[in-house]
A = this chain, B = another copy of it.
């Protein structure tokens, strides 16, 4: 596999299987001398933990990261930072029945072909959403290093199925708003959407189904002039990281897909000067022009597909016996992965931005 994200001098290597002894990450290329607060890392990771209200899986692990290297007295040393998270709640038996039936929407079949049947199938193995825990660890580290440079980042639920939160204000979004949305149980700007979204998820769950949605990310304070076009520009770097989050099937920046229905005169962002600083009056470009940051808020959206593990019976194949079968997925699954995907996508984008400073 290639579970390494590499951009600039930064590399993030994620390892582990859902039902192996441990999962973790090695982050190399971090600048030395950066203060890291473990509490904040844990807070970040806690945002990925299953919700206790029925909208998430009931699998529950403390996910306590243990830092093995690279940090001394709470400060980065410049050497590779390794953090390990033990797997403690591995109910392998739940997965026994899955065996070689390809779960629709999952990588069982493609992984089997790719790895000649040697990959760990228990709980998705290395493909498991569980691997986003070390990703969040790395994203939390990135978040702190970005903060040292005056950059605040956050993501929120832009939509679950057809219920939409309001988007970040592309011009006037503030660091306080970003911090606030991260502190909420469901990361929403318009908290009136909390109840209907929750209801929607529970209803889907009750009908043995699942729903997806869109996550929006914002980075505030990114200075102008970062990114290396054509193929190492900010969009490329971020895309490369964000498409590493399982279930992400789409990504756009600024006005994104909606700009394709605008006129150029509408989509262009007028430059002006404010207090000696060059700004744009609108921000359809999402803070990135030609692959390089413009100094405006960086804005992107990621499409998260509905959880493929649905409890209703599905038709599928046994890819070893080459027979068609009916599959009933048991086990503990998220009827909606979107709330937990929020910190994961934030983590991925944070890492991409951090790479500009490594």
Residues 42-83 (chain A) with a chain B CB within 8 angstroms: 66-70, 72, 75-82
Q: Is the interface of A mostly helix, strand, loop or mixed?
A: mixed
Known interface pairs A77-B118, A214-B260, A263-B209; A271-B316 also in contact (CB < 8 Å)? yes
Q: Is A17 an interface residue (CB 8 A)?
A: yes
Cβ of A243: which chain B residues have Cβ within 8 Å of it? 233, 235-236, 239, 291
Interface residues on A, range: 35 or more
Q: Is A211 an interface residue (CB 8 A)?
A: yes
A119 to B276, CA, bound (A): 23
Contact with B along A250-269 (1 / 0, CB 8 A): 11111111011111111111
Known interface pairs A230-B3, A240-B231, A306-B263; A77-B17 also in contact (CB < 8 Å)? yes
Binding-face segment, A104-112, A139-147, A171-179: A104-112
Chain copies in complex: 4
A299 to chain B, nearest CB (A): 11
CB of B244 within 8 A of CB of A290, answer no
CB of B323 within 8 A of CB of A273, answer yes
Which of A80, A84, A161, A239 has the most CB atoms of chain B within a 10 A radius of its CB? A80
CB of B69 within 8 A of CB of A17, answer yes
Cβ of A21: which chain B residues have Cβ within 8 Å of it? 66-69
Cβ of A239: which chain B residues have Cβ within 8 Å of it? 236, 239-240, 243, 251
Known interface pairs A104-B271, A251-B250, A251-B252; A227-B114 also in contact (CB < 8 Å)? yes
CB of A119 within 8 A of CB of B69, answer no
Residues 315-350 (chain A) with a chain B CB within 8 angstroms: 315-317, 319, 322-324
CB of B32 within 8 A of CB of A69, answer no
CB of B81 within 8 A of CB of A228, answer no
CB of A290 within 8 A of CB of B110, answer yes
CB of A78 within 8 A of CB of B249, answer no
Which one, B76, B113, B264, contacts A211 given CB within 8 A?
A: B264
Q: Is A221 an interface residue (CB 8 A)?
A: no
A252 to B256, CA, bound (A): 11
Q: Is A37 an interface residue (CB 8 A)?
A: no
CB of A231 within 8 A of CB of B241, answer yes
CB of B3 within 8 A of CB of A82, answer no
Cβ of A250: which chain B residues have Cβ within 8 Å of it? 250-253, 256-257, 260
A87 to chain B, nearest CB (A): 9
Residues 1-47 (chain A) with a chain B CB within 8 angstroms: 1-6, 8-9, 11, 13-17, 20-24, 26, 28-29, 32-33
Known interface pairs A4-B28, A231-B5, A250-B253; A290-B111 also in contact (CB < 8 Å)? yes
Cβ of A261: which chain B residues have Cβ within 8 Å of it? 159, 161-162, 212
CB of B310 within 8 A of CB of A265, answer yes
Cβ of A226: which chain B residues have Cβ within 8 Å of it? 114
Cβ of A26: which chain B residues have Cβ within 8 Å of it? 13, 15, 26
For the complex with contacts A1-B78, A161-B260, A231-B240, 12 further pairs of A-B residues with Cβ separation under 8 Å are A11-B13, A13-B13, A15-B26, A15-B69, A15-B82, A22-B68, A68-B84, A106-B289, A109-B271, A235-B248, A239-B251, A268-B308
Q: What are 21 contact pairs spanning A and B, CB under 8 A? A: A3-B79, A4-B13, A4-B232, A9-B9, A13-B13, A21-B66, A68-B84, A72-B120, A80-B126, A104-B270, A105-B289, A107-B229, A110-B288, A162-B261, A209-B265, A210-B263, A210-B265, A212-B262, A214-B257, A255-B305, A264-B309
